[in-house]
Structure 1
Amino acid sequence: MTESTGRTGTEGQGGTAVAEEPAGGPMVRVEDLHRSYGSGAGAVHALRGVSFEVPRGELVALKGRSGSGKTTLLNLLGGLDSPDGGRITVDGTDLAGLGENGLLELRRDRIGFIFQSFGLIPILTAAENVGVPMRLRKADPREREERVALLLSLVGLADHAAQRPGELSGGQQQRVAIARALANRPALLIADEPTGQLDAETGLAVMELLRAVVRSEGVTALVATHDPQLLGLADRVLELSDGHIVEHA
């Protein structure tokens, strides 16, 4: 349904119309976001009125010391948590209008997650790990095999497809995790300290790979990191301090 404002509507859980913005707007729009844990004098205010936009096709780094709110913000953007106040729009969709099924579909089809701990399934090969999201989507087996081969080649692991995580280095495991995050052609990549378990040289190589992936796959990436060397590879840097955005570079 097209409204007079130029926005389109989709159906959320329970038949509620979910407003979508026209194509071509920012990939991420955050408006006056608040999130607290606990109550009363002991409440922890993780986010205090955070607002920013992430244009499509950019690699944006999110920096800040431990406890600054980075992980909280990424969890909210990925639909893994809900804010106390404010608005989040991802790829034109207002997350507040989505029910649980809508959020599951968003995470499955439009957002790719990369974590510090890799999160690979030990008994599966590299190729099988990359293919898991497509199996969940019930993709055609031939399409799945072709996509897995392409992605392993993209991350430089075409010769390691049959190896299991325990047979790979930390850097190689993170490359598999990146390939898996790209399996369903997401519009947005969310990476929480993806180089935190890697040495400096390997971490830099992984960050350079993420930058190359943003260009080649046409995705947008928001990467939390505290490494100054890695921050230099981002198109833009946002700094979080005590729940506030304090710097746009």
Structure 2
Amino acid sequence: MSENSSAQSGTAVADDPAGRPMVRVEKLHRSYGTGAAAVHALRGVSFDIPRGELVALKGRSGSGKTTLLNLVGGLDSPDEGRITVDGVELSALGEDGLLELRRDRLGFIFQSFGLIPILSAAENVGVPLRLRKADPREREERVALLLALVGLADHAAQRPGELSGGQQQRVAIARALANRPKLLIADEPTGQLDAETGLAVMELLRAVVRSEGVTALVATHDPQLLGLADRVLELRDGEIVEQ
């Protein structure tokens, strides 16, 4: 089945990864509002992200970072331009295809952690696997592996309220990896953490990219964290001004 025919059916299909970037963004425009009141969040943004890299996205508040992450993650649609993730052009997918893409190939990490308060750390990590109706034994093994990977094997039974902010973000990272995504998208993942804890979380993301073989696009404003990235993209007034 060709990519085009699969896209028309609303299903995301794997493409040959040889020589292809994980993410390709081409001449992306996104505005909010109309007329004189319109806000131009993105103005012709283009870049590639090679597979297996951790790319940091920096820029002041209002520079367009979150808008760009939402577009790459299939949570919003551009006014103009094209986004390709893992060989799949997002504009060619229907809503079902976008849901499948987000479920099977993407992992999201947010500043606010987004954990379910009444669930334990292990149960939070296992949520994506339950939604996929994974085999219980497979789910338990994957959860245990991920909690060990993020250094929380001894905290599996604790609920978010019993964990520090850094520990909660580690649980969120483990949850984002549950379905073995190919791309991690993180929006200011250290924004609620102190400098030392934030650096530890960013170092963990760096290690995860290597150990799990994933690609990561991370928005951050912290200069100390930018040095851990393979490459830094700077957004200013909706445009890429430095790579």
Same fold (TM over 0.5): yes
Q: Which residue of 1 aligns with 2:107?
A: 112
Q: Deviations over 1:22-46 (max 9, x none)?
A: 3221000000000000000000000
Name the aligned partner's letter for residue 111 of structure 2.
Answer: Q
User: In the aligned structure 2, how far is the partner of 1:92 from the partner of 1:18?
Assistant: 9
User: In the aligned structure 1, how far is the partner of 2:43 from the partner of 2:14?
Assistant: 25
User: In the aligned structure 2, how far is the partner of 1:19 from the partner of 1:159?
Assistant: 38
Q: Which residue of 2 aligns with 1:125?
A: 120
User: In the aligned structure 1, how far is the partner of 2:33 from the partner of 2:16?
Assistant: 37
Name the aligned partner's letter for residue 240 of structure 1.
Answer: L
Q: Deviations over 1:40-97 (max 9, x none)?
A: 0000000000000000000000000000000000000000000000000001100001
Q: Which residue of 2 aligns with 1:5?
A: none
Of 37, 42, 54, the residue aligned with 2:37 is 42
Of 218, 230, 240, the residue aligned with 2:235 is 240
Kindly indicate whether the alpha-carbon contact (under 8 Å) linking 2:10 and 2:97 is maintained by their aligned counterparts in 1.
no
Q: Which residue of 2 aligns with 1:194?
A: 189
- Equivalenced residue count is 242
Q: Which residue of 2 aligns with 1:22?
A: 16
Structure 1 stretches lacking a partner, 5+ long: 3-7
Q: Which residue of 2 aligns with 1:65?
A: 60
Q: Residue 228 in 1 paired to residue 206 in 2?
A: no
Kindly indicate whether the alpha-carbon contact (under 8 Å) linking 1:19 and 1:94 is maintained by their aligned counterparts in 2.
no
Of 4, 7, 11, the residue aligned with 2:6 is 11
Kindly indicate whether the alpha-carbon contact (under 8 Å) linking 2:115 and 2:124 is maintained by their aligned counterparts in 1.
yes
Q: Deviations over 1:215-243 (max 9, x none)?
A: 00000000000000000000000000000
User: In the aligned structure 1, how far is the partner of 2:232 from the partner of 2:15?
Assistant: 25
What SS is found at the alignment partner of 2:69? helix
Of 175, 178, 185, the residue aligned with 1:183 is 178
Cα distance change, pair 187–143 in 1 and its aligned pair in 2 (3 A): same
Name the aligned partner's letter for residue 130 of structure 2.
Answer: R
Cα distance change, pair 17–213 in 1 and its aligned pair in 2 (3 A): closer
Name the aligned partner's letter for residue 197 of structure 1.
Answer: Q
Aligned residues with identical type, % of pairs: 85
Residue 11 of structure 1 and its aligned partner are, at CA, apart by 1.9
**TM-score of the superposed pair, with normalisation by structure 2:** 0.97
Kindly indicate whether the alpha-carbon contact (under 8 Å) linking 2:30 and 2:43 is maintained by their aligned counterparts in 1.
yes
Q: Note the aligned Cα RMSD (angstroms).
A: 1.4
Kindly indicate whether the alpha-carbon contact (under 8 Å) linking 1:9 and 1:20 is maintained by their aligned counterparts in 2.
no
Structure 2 stretches lacking a partner, 5+ long: none
Residue 17 of structure 1 and its aligned partner are, at CA, apart by 8.7
Kindly indicate whether the alpha-carbon contact (under 8 Å) linking 2:10 and 2:96 is maintained by their aligned counterparts in 1.
no
Cα distance change, pair 190–17 in 1 and its aligned pair in 2 (3 A): closer
Residue 152 of structure 1 and its aligned partner are, at CA, apart by 0.1
**TM-score of the superposed pair, with normalisation by structure 1:** 0.94
User: In the aligned structure 1, how far is the partner of 2:134 from the partner of 2:200?
Assistant: 31
What SS is found at the alignment partner of 1:163? coil
User: In the aligned structure 2, how far is the partner of 1:172 from the partner of 1:18?
Assistant: 33
Kindly indicate whether the alpha-carbon contact (under 8 Å) linking 2:10 and 2:95 is maintained by their aligned counterparts in 1.
no
Name the aligned partner's letter for residue 216 of structure 1.
Answer: S
Name the aligned partner's letter for residue 124 of structure 1.
Answer: L
Structure 1 residues 15-24 or 48-57, which shifts more?
Answer: 15-24
